[in-house]
């Protein structure tokens, strides 16, 4: 394979994570080492930055910045949710990108994101090939949702899972202090895949897990859930439920809409945002049990709490970025870096592999139904064996004067 | 002062904190060292445990347990919210306590809590004195609300403040990733005192603080707030507001009730719990700005996140427990241990002092109005100088297999 000489560009896309910048640091440090890469750019706000010629020149940054990026949550370059049209329907953006790539002699395109971002990579690559513009396009996986197809797990998941497991344990301890008891609803991210909510199961290892766990992989039955809550509360004077934000009933209706229906039914003011799923379920639980109830949303905290990052996740995310650059330089294009678990030594080893972009794009990986217990009491040992290696080790930004230091 | 020989009992009361068990560890380790203390008991669920003879024998615990208690959040013994009647009105509980104290020869009574708990101490002490039962009663301060009168600050506040400052920084970074912008409302605990919400100001030191901060110390004007939000959003495409759960309008009405009014007005189902303050304000902000909005409640997490404890707070909390025992053994009764700041060396030194229980009970300390900026943009440097020493140093439970180890 002939050496391809030119500039490289990297962008971050979709929802941020605690470790998305670790992958960026991996791409940048590796790209800056490569002789064939003449310049290294970071796109401001993903593909929008490429379209608008809003780049950062990463060769201006020092090694300390890249080191700090490993522990800085959220997207340091800025992210975007922007879906490219099909080139057949509207090729405006593609033409513009080609123009920009030519202008800056950009020959390496790295994009960090989930399903949609891999779709973006795929479309760009196909267009450039058709236009005869030589370019290597590589995807770097990222999503706390852990729903990317073909990879054992996704960068970002381990840290979010560690935060969720730890916070669930802490809430468990807090919820048990009074002799009166309480019903607590933990609302966890995940519209279609329940990997994040499943992570609450990891709190059971230390005896501090939820009583019930509901993932979007299975239809949610409100009456059945409330009967179980009442039974557990009656027995233990306490009940903790972890629910995915995306749980739906058998008719495909989001449970979170039950609450807004109630609010909207009578008043146009509240709109669809008054009270989330946790508040809605807490209200139902109060009606059913008369108990003190509390709905807790982990909200953005679960995806940005780099102060409680998984060291395993940070290191793997960095490596995913490095491997994307190495592969591209060696001649690979149209692939995403993926993880492969090797347990042959008896303990967890994570290897990387490459997946064809068209295999990955727009396919979601959900939690296997066989890992979800039939009685809604949680996940099986298979899940624990799967997830536990991903939360190992602690990563925290340098703490100065009581709070973290991050790049800006 | 004659040596008083007998058993000691310790209880935890009110809302738990990340460090309440550190004070318990301080009391227990110190009490077990004292020759005049014949037995050391822990009350299950505070004063209720004393009334019901539900004790733990703490001499059965090993040193490792006490060490682990320092980093275990929530009340290890169980807490309670139980207000004793005035003895003049109903002396049933007091008679029962005297009976129990006599039965177990309990001569030392230590109680860990906030305003109400100091009131409980005070009442018990006065009754026992009147009954001629020799006893030493000491309060150990505790409250994330930091509203105890007469002490520079309260055990529990530093760790909660550290969590709030760090989480605010993380949310700040997360809220800025998209070029579209967002309005974020952070709801922080504090019904009458704004110390916890004020801690969001500490995030500004690293440039990641809120744009607006509202404490219950000042009447909240919804229109004025929304005008400011709109202005800031227009200018920066982003706005973060930190609000105390206890903010009220000029008529003394809780702003959190504005939302439930709307829900209740038309439907009896939603009760007072559908949507909290953050959701309510987020709805108003959406109406005003059309922006993407997000309401985030730090909820229980702010008081139980021992994984991000302040080392200063943990050590001071432990010491508060120790000092209570030392003082009681030396003959003091009817006092609470308090903190006094000594800045004479140019840096923060925390000394302990003793306050008369009747001085402390039922008096709340709020944030000085002169520390709250008139334009609602936050707290002055005086507050930062006050709070910053309290969040110094990191305390975390031992992490084993990716999650914390706590006592149970």
> DSSP letters of B132-161?
T---EEEEEE--TT--BTTSSS-TTHHHHH
Q: What would the two tokens of residue B129 be?
A: 């004195």
**pLDDT tens digits, B251-286:** 999 998 887 665 544 333 333 334 589 989 998 999
ipTM for the complex shown: 0.95
**pLDDT tens digits, B93-120:** 999 999 999 999 999 999 999 988 999 9
Whether A297 sits inside 8 A of B296 (CB atoms) is yes
Q: What angle do CA B173, B174, B176 make, to 5 degrees?
A: 70
Q: Which chain A residues are Cβ-neighbours of B293 within 8 angstroms?
A: 273
Handedness of CA A92, A98, A102, A106 (dihedral sign): positive
Whether B293 sits inside 8 A of A273 (CB atoms) is yes
Tracing tokens 């409330």 back to the chain, one arrives at: A226
Give A388→chain B minimum CA distance, Å: 8
Q: Is B343 exposed, middle or buried (0-12, 13-18, 19+ CB in 10 A)?
A: exposed
Concerning whether B145 is annotated as a catalytic residue, the answer is yes
Percent of chain B with pLDDT over 90: 89
Size of interface A-B (CB pairs under 8 A): 235
State the pLDDT confidence band at A263, using cuts at 50, 70 and 90: low
Handedness of CA B332, B338, B343, B345 (dihedral sign): positive
- Average pLDDT score over chain B: 94
CB atoms within 10 A of CB A356: 12
CB atoms within 10 A of CB B345: 7
CB atoms within 10 A of CB B219: 13
Poorest-confidence range of B118-127, B197-206, B237-246, B355-364?
A: B355-364
User: How many angstroms separate the CA atoms of A242 and A188, rounded?
Assistant: 7
pLDDT at A155: 98
Percent of chain B with pLDDT over 70: 96
pLDDT at A273: 38
Give A78→chain B minimum CA distance, Å: 4
Instruction: Specify whether the CB–CB gap between B323 and B27 falls below 8 A.
Output: no
User: How many angstroms separate the CA atoms of B102 and B53, rounded?
Assistant: 12
pLDDT at B96: 98
Handedness of CA A23, A24, A29, A31 (dihedral sign): positive
Whether B275 sits inside 8 A of A270 (CB atoms) is yes
Return residues 267-296 of B near A (CB < 8 Å). Answer: 267, 269-271, 273-276, 279-280, 282-283, 286, 293-294, 296
Choose among B166, B177, B392: nearest Cβ to A404.
Answer: B166
**pLDDT tens digits, B10-46:** 999 999 999 999 999 999 999 999 999 999 999 999 9
pLDDT at A106: 98
Q: Which chain A residues are Cβ-neighbours of B285 within 8 angstroms?
A: none
> What residues contact residue A251 under an 8 Å CB cut-off, 6+ apart?
none
Instruction: Specify whether the CB–CB gap between A220 and A247 falls below 8 A.
Output: yes
Say whether residue B208 is in contact with chain A using an 8 A CB cutoff. Answer: yes
């Amino acid at each position: 394979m002939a050496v391809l000489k030119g500039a490289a560009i990297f962008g971050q896309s979709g929802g941020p994570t605690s470790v998305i910048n670790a992958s960026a640091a991996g791409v940048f440090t590796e790209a800056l080492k490569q002789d064939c890469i003449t310049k290294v750019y970071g796109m401001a706000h993903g593909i929008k930055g490429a379209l608008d010629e809003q780049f950062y020149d990463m060769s201006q940054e020092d090694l300390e910045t890249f080191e700090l990026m490993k522990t800085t949550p959220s997207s340091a370059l800025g992210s975007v949710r922007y879906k490219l049209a099909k080139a057949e329907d509207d090729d405006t953006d593609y033409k513009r990108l080609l123009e920009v790539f030519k202008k800056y002699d950009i020959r390496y395109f790295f994009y960090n994101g989930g399903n949609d971002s891999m779709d973006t990579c795929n479309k760009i690559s196909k267009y450039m090939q058709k236009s005869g513009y030589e370019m290597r396009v590589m995807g770097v996986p990222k999503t706390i949702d852990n729903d990317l197809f073909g990879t054992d797990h996704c960068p970002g998941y381990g840290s979010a899972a560690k935060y969720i497991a730890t916070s669930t344990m802490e809430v468990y301890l807090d919820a048990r202090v009074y002799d009166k008891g309480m019903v607590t609803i933990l609302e966890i991210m995940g519209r279609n895949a329940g990997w994040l909510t499943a992570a609450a199961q990891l709190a059971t290892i230390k005896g501090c897990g939820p009583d019930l766990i509901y993932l979007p992989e299975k239809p949610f039955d409100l009456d059945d859930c409330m009967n179980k809550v009442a039974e557990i509360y009656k027995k233990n004077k306490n009940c903790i439920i972890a629910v995915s934000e995306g749980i739906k009933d058998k008719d495909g209706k989001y449970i979170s809409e039950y609450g807004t229906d109630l609010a909207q039914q009578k008043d146009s003011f509240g709109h669809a945002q008054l009270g989330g799923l946790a508040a809605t379920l807490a209200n139902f639980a109060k009606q059913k049990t008369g108990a003190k109830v509390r709905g807790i949303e982990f909200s953005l905290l679960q995806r940005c709490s780099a102060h409680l990052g998984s060291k395993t996740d940070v290191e793997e995310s960095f490596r995913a970025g490095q491997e994307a650059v190495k592969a591209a330089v060696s001649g690979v294009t149209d692939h995403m870096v993926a993880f492969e678990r090797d347990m042959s030594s008896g303990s967890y080893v994570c290897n990387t592999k490459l997946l064809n972009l068209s295999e990955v794009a727009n396919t979601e990986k959900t939690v296997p139904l066989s890992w979800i217990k039939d009685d809604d009491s949680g996940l099986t040992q298979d899940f624990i064996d799967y997830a536990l290696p991903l939360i190992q080790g602690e990563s925290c930004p340098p703490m100065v004067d009581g709070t973290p230091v991050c790049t800006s």
